[in-house]
């Protein structure tokens, strides 16, 4: 029996010719990551192990992203713990002003390449699976052991195969494909599985768009989300890679726990309604509803790359954010912020009346810089909208793609982008 993409990568990292779902393996990792929430716990557990050094200083990375710049004394203390350990141990550390959101920063900087096994102390680590790597989130205690040994144990997951046929319509994005998928299979539909994304619709996507899909594998309960590396992948990787890579492909006779096929040409812009990423409706289904909003957030590890910012800016250029609506735009990394500045996108956003911040997770997890009050509604390009995710448990969050978010900011309610810019502009 052949192996899936996930099984190929895991077999290579545990020194076996083949592995099967359910096997317990001990595997060598290529990169370990923690952030300002998870690193302090990992550091505490690491010190209890009694080891003096991490397994490889170049392959352990800390990134301050969630609560930094510090919102209060407690989060400042967390940041200091992480920063002091990084100084003492000599590991890779990206300070604020250089960093941003780890799931976008690390592939951008070349730390993750095809064929890698990457473990991060954050649930959205699967983002990097778009590179053809096995990227999975882990708890801080497991991360501590991996920092010390360079190895981790896990159960080999089953693989769910997802095939996207056809070409996406004008306003449909990869965000809509993954929201549609989660709406179909449920937020527990891929629990502890590897989601293997493929099909001609994906071949047309940029890496920015692909990362969005693997990012939200976490919202379906998956252990990892993966795509086979192709020429688009390698064009992204070659100028960045910090180490060698291996492109793995699934065998033709690989076994899949389940297979789903979608016609991308029929998938409309999709909105995840409160209070679940799986509670989805299309923009057409909302055409008769007047959903007024208080806030728009364009950012997060799901949609804060250059492609996302360009699309949002195209909607906002020459227009103004609606009265009584606040729009917060946060580029994912400092490099993306600088590129957006050079292209004039920051000016477009600020002229429209948006508040633009330097790179951070911001309000995505209700950390700071945009927390919602009771009864407020927010349209967001992020990945989760559970009760209390972005603030008060009685606030409502609607998950959308970047063009829909920008259109909502201008209209003050959830609308199709063509209602803001007119059909003639896209015909």
Assign 365 a pLDDT band (cuts: 50, 70, 90).
confident
Report the pLDDT averaged over residues 194-218. 97
Q: With contact defined as beta carbons under 8 Å apart, do 412 and 353 qualify?
A: no
- What tokens does 74 get? 């407690």
Task: Judge if 5-242+254-263 and 272-422 fold alike in CATH terms.
Answer: yes
pLDDT at 324 over 90: yes
Task: Give the chain's largest Cα–Cα span.
Answer: 67
> Does position 318 have pLDDT exceeding 80, yes or no?
yes
**CATH dotted code for 5-242+254-263:** 3.30.499.10
H/E run at residue 40: helix 39-48
With 60 as the cut, is the pLDDT of residue 427 above it?
no
Q: Over range 260-273, report the average pLDDT.
A: 98
Query: pLDDT grade, residue 4 (50/70/90)?
Result: very high
At 420 the three-state DSSP class reads helix
Across 229-233, average pLDDT? 98
> How far apart are the C-alpha atoms of 304 and 335, rounded to whole Å?
12
pLDDT digits (tens, 9 = 90+) for 80-100: 999 999 999 999 999 999 989
pLDDT of residue 358: 86
Averaged pLDDT for residues 301-326: 97
Backbone conformation region of residue 119, classed left if phi is above 0, alpha if psi is from -120 to 50, else beta: beta
More confident residue, 361 or 346: 346
CB 281 within 8 A of CB 293: no
Token pair 């930094």: residue: 68
pLDDT of residue 1: 79
pLDDT of 390-406, one tens digit each?
Answer: 999 999 999 999 999 99
User: Mean per-residue pLDDT for 133-140?
Assistant: 97
Q: Which residue has the tokens 């099967």?
A: 20
Q: What is the band of 425 on the pLDDT scale with cuts at 50, 70, 90?
A: low
* Number of other CB atoms surrounding residue 374 within 10 Å: 9
Per the CB < 8 A criterion, the answer to whether 426 and 403 are in contact is: no
**Which one of 3.10.250.10, 2.60.40.10, 3.30.499.10, 3.30.930.10 gives the CATH number of domain 272-422?**
3.30.499.10
As a whole-number percent, the residues of the chain with pLDDT over 70 amount to 99
pLDDT of amino acid 422: 83
What integer pLDDT is reported at residue 9 of this predicted model? 98
Q: Are 390 and 370 in contact (CB under 8 A)?
A: yes
Q: How confident is the model at residue 215 (pLDDT cuts 50, 70, 90)?
A: very high
Give the per-residue pLDDT at 426: 60
Region 247-275: mean pLDDT is: 98
Confidence at residue 287, expressed as pLDDT on a 0 to 100 scale:
86
In sign, the C-alpha dihedral spanning 264, 186, 7, 133 is positive
User: Please, what is the average pLDDT of the chain?
Assistant: 96
Bridge-based pairing state of the strands 295-298 and 326-329: parallel
CA distances from 145 to 53, 89, 121, 141, 422 (A): 12, 15, 12, 7, 55
pLDDT band at 340 (very low <50, low <70, confident <90, very high): very high
**For residue 424, what pLDDT is reported?**
55
- Domain range summary for the chain, segments of one domain joined by +: 5-242+254-263, 272-422
Distance separating alpha carbons of residues 184 and 182, to the nearest angstrom:
5
* Statement: residue 290 has pLDDT above 70: yes
Give CA separation, 353 vs 72, 232, 296, 362, in Å: 27, 35, 12, 18
Give me the pLDDT at residue 2, please. Answer: 95
């Amino acid at each position: 029996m052949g192996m899936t993409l996930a099984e190929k990568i895991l077999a290579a990292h545990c020194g076996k010719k083949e592995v099967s779902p359910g096997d317990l393996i001990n595997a060598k990792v290529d990169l370990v990551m923690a952030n300002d929430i998870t690193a302090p716990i990992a550091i505490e557990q690491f010190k209890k192990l009694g080891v003096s050094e991490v397994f490889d200083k170049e392959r352990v990375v800390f990134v301050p992203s969630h609560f930094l710049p510090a919102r209060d004394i407690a989060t400042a203390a967390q940041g200091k713990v992480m920063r002091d350990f990084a100084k003492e141990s000599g590991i890779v550390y990206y300070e604020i002003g250089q960093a941003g959101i780890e799931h976008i920063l690390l592939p951008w900087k070349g730390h993750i390449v095809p064929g890698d096994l990457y473990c991060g102390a954050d649930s959205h680590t699967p983002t990097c699976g778009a590179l053809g790597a096995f990227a999975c989130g882990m708890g801080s205690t497991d991360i501590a052991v991996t920092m010390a040994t360079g190895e981790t144990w896990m159960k080999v997951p089953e693989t769910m195969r997802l095939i996207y046929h056809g070409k996406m319509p004008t306003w449909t994005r990869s965000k809509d494909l993954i929201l549609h998928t989660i709406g179909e299979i449920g937020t527990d539909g891929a629990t502890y599985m590897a989601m293997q994304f493929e099909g001609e619709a994906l071949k047309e996507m940029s890496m920015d768009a692909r990362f969005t899909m693997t990012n939200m594998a976490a919202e379906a309960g998956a252990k990892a989300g993966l795509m086979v590396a192709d020429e688009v992948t390698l064009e992204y990787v070659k100028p960045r890679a910090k180490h060698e890579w291996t492109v793995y492909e699934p065998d033709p006779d690989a076994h899949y726990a389940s297979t789903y096929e979608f016609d991308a040409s029929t998938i409309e812009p999709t909105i995840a309604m409160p209070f679940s990423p799986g509670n989805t409706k299309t923009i057409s289904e909302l055409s008769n509803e007047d959903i007024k909003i208080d806030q728009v957030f364009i950012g997060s590890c799901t949609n804060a790359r250059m492609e996302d910012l360009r699309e949002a800016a195209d909607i906002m250029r020459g227009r103004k954010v609606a009265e009584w609506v606040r729009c917060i735009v946060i580029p994912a990394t400092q490099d993306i912020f600088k590129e957006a500045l050079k292209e004039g996108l920051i000016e477009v956003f600020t002229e429209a009346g948006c508040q633009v911040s330097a790179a951070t997770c911001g309000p995505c997890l209700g950390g700071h810089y945009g927390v919602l009050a009771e009864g407020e509604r927010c349209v967001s390009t992020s990945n989760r909208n559970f009760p209390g995710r972005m603030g008060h448990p009685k606030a409502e969050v609607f998950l959308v793609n970047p063009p829909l978010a920008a259109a909502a900011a201008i209209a003050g309610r959830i609308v199709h982008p063509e209602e803001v810019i007119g059909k003639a502009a896209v015909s």
